[in-house]
Structure 1
Amino acid sequence: MATEQRKPLPFIANFAAGAIAGVSEILTFYPLDVVKTRMQLETGKSKHGMVGTLTAIVREEGVGRLYRGLVPPLLLEAPKRAVKFASNDFWGKTYLKLSGESKMTSQLSIITGCSAGATESFVVVPFELVKIKLQDKTSTFAGPMDVVKQVIKKEGVLGLYAGMEATFWRHFWWNGGYFGCIHQVRAMMPKAETPQGQLFNNFVSGSVGGFMGTVLNTPFDVVKSRIQSVSKVPGVVPKYNWTYPALVTIFREEGPAALYKGFTPKVLRLAPGGGVLLLVVEFTLNIFRQALGPPYI
């Protein structure tokens, strides 16, 4: 059966492929995420670049610190990536039906990606908050559950959703750039004639998508990190509260470059990480297709 005519895989297949891909990506690139967060939480002019921050962490705190906060994102990655690809599949089918198009277009892929990112953000927030608080250099929390207990004790259950709005915009723009670029790059590349060629095309398009998503969402990630790192004080309005006013504050006080703090480790993780993500997703989906047989092949 021709690829264009094959039956779409069931939801559970897209869910499982996204989960496996997410865990693979984070185990490979997590230390870069720690470095990125440290750079974003540093106010004023940056004292270290990526390499300086990395070596300072290892020298002053030990190699193990590069993996501090790993448990929350590991617990999160499976549902997060699963939701990312499953919701992208859901919204893609929905928008195709609404638009009357027979196949995905560039505009639809961007709208689909943004919608998937918005959906994903609701799953992500509590895990991201715990991770940021553990990655902070000044963190005194004993571990993930200690963060959860203390936040709930001081701020209530809703305290776990601090930074929800910033997280929404971070994922909205990243997914729009990621999935929109994948569609565009795939259309520009020569059609793959072999499985190896298909893998190469997926890695390249996923890497370009990861780079563009990072360019678009880094300012929102900086704001999110700062909102989530600070505990709320009763009666005191937080310096960084709503996303777009916070972007203006950082721009005015620290200059435009501050909105891209942590960009280098972030893009080094998410550009090849986006490629790895897409490779693993497509590889896993192909296994499902082979296992289920016609009409999915």
Structure 2
Amino acid sequence: MSLPTTTASPETLVPTTAPTGLTKLVHKLLGGAVAGITGTLIIYPLDIVKTRLQNQRPNAQGVLPYRHGVDCFRQLIRHEGMRGVYRGLVPNLVGITPEKAIKLAVNDFTREWLAGRYLAPGQSESQLGPGYGMIAGATAGVCQVIVTNPMEIVKINMQVAGTTPGAPKPTAMGLVRQLGLRGLYRGTPATLLRDVPFSVVFFPTHAILKSQLADPLTGQTPFYGVFLSGMVAAFFAAGAVTPADVIKTRLQTSTKYHGVRDCFQDIVRNEGPQALFKGVLPRCCIVAPLFGIALLTYEAQQRWIGGKST
């Protein structure tokens, strides 16, 4: 007597390996975290130098504390040691994961939505025009500020704490309790003024440069091309929004200003227009490799999980 046979359907024989929406989100968070933490640990000393340069004010004799970035770093090491170089690192690392995940994921999601709505079937989002790229970047920038502002205000207040001799060094949790919810979002308009234009410039520029470096046969950009396009796009975007970054730093470390306009006028009147570009080179040198690493990691993760290329 023969046993009955059953024929398995192809669905039961081949396991489904396509990642779910939640799995994709986890991958993006992990990829952003690894890239952000690695990049931050390497370039954080430049970040604190940038903040000190932007926040310095002339003394009674009209002399600035630091002549340039190298002088600032030397004084930092001499007076505060390596601990001073990495002051404010922990809150920055805590904010890296959601900040990078939100910026990359929201831009990615918005581009997918725009492509599905405005492109013909079969066209990829890489064919979106620069205008759509700007919309996606602006959306990512707005969403990012919700997470970025509290993290940055704690980081900046810890970074400038060492500029007052003999003053007690604050802790991250101490600053959170001292500032409160309203204080943690001080300078939000200036942060929006910096991060939204940054994303509007950065993401479309990255997409254009990346497409120019793509293999003409496969259409896929090699990893070095992803890294270089991210570096160049971030360098120019960071330089373009440096005035907003200077204003944001001042607003978040002082209560003397009544808003973005008041801060802008005070800086130009007392220090000259050139003061709006204080720390521009350290800032560009910080942001460029950080975003190059983040995009490289994000791209590698997308290809590894079998998803689309960004």
Fold shared per TM-score above 0.5: yes
CA offset at residue 115 of structure 1?
A: 1.4
Range moving further from structure 2, 9-18 or 177-186? 9-18
- Given that 2:39 and 2:289 are in contact with CA atoms closer than 8 Å, whether structure 1 keeps it comes out as no
**For the structure 1 residues 38 and 191, does the alpha-carbon distance in structure 2 shift closer, same or farther, using more than 3 Å as the test?**
same
Q: Structure 2: how far apart are the matches of 1:221 and 1:110?
A: 20
- The answer to whether structure 1 residue 146 and structure 2 residue 174 are counterparts is yes
Tell me the distance in 2 between the aligned counterparts of 1:115 and 1:186. 21
Deviates more, 1:46-55 or 1:127-136: 46-55
Matched, 1:281 2:298: yes
Contact 1:210/1:274 (<8 A) preserved: yes
Instruction: Check whether the contact 2:239–2:283 (CA below 8 A) recurs between aligned residues.
Output: no
Match 1:96 to one of 88, 111, 115: 115
Change (3 A) 1:9 1:185: farther
Q: Mapping of 1:255-270 within 5 angstroms?
A: 255-270=272-287
User: What corresponds to 2:6 in structure 1?
Assistant: none
Instruction: Extract unaligned runs of 5+ from structure 1.
Output: 1-6, 233-237, 290-294
The answer to whether 1:129 aligns with 2:153 is: yes
For structure 2, list consecutive stretches of 5 or more residues without a partner in the other structure.
1-17
Cα gap change, 1:284/1:120 in structure 2, threshold over 3 Å: closer, same or farther? same
Structure 2 length-normalised TM: 0.81
The answer for the alignment partner of 2:242 in structure 1 is: 218
Residue identity over aligned pairs, in percent, reads 31
Q: Which region of structure 1 is more displaced relative to structure 2, 89-98 or 59-68?
A: 89-98
Q: Is the 8 A contact 2:236 2:284 kept in 1?
A: no
Counterpart residue type for residue 57 of structure 1: L
- Separation in 2, partners of 1:119, 1:88: 10
Report what 1:119 is aligned to.
Answer: 143
Q: List per-residue Cα deviations over 1:12-40 (Å, max 9, x = no partner).
A: 13333223222222122111111010001
Matched residue, 1:87 = 106
How far did residue 283 of structure 1 move? 1.8
Once the two structures are superposed, what CA deviation does each residue of 1:142-170 show, in whole Å capped at 9, x if it has no partner?
Answer: 31011112223xxxx21111111111111
Alpha-carbon separation, structure 1, partners of 2:131 and 2:211: 13
The higher-RCO structure (CA 8 Å, 6+ apart) is 1
CA distance in 1, matches of 2:241, 2:20: 30
- Asked whether the 8 Å contact 1:8–1:296 carries over to 2, the reply is no
1:165–1:199 Cα change, 3 Å: same
2:89 is equivalent to residue 70 of structure 1: yes
TM-score (norm 1): 0.84
Provide, for residues 107-161 of structure 1, a one-character-per-residue CA deviation record: whole Å limited to 9, x for no partner.
2112211210111001111111111110002363431011112223xxxx21111
Cα pair distance change 1:39/1:192, threshold 3 Å? farther
The change in CA–CA distance for 1:71 and 1:193 in structure 2 (over 3 A counts) is: farther
Question: How far did residue 58 of structure 1 move?
Answer: 0.5
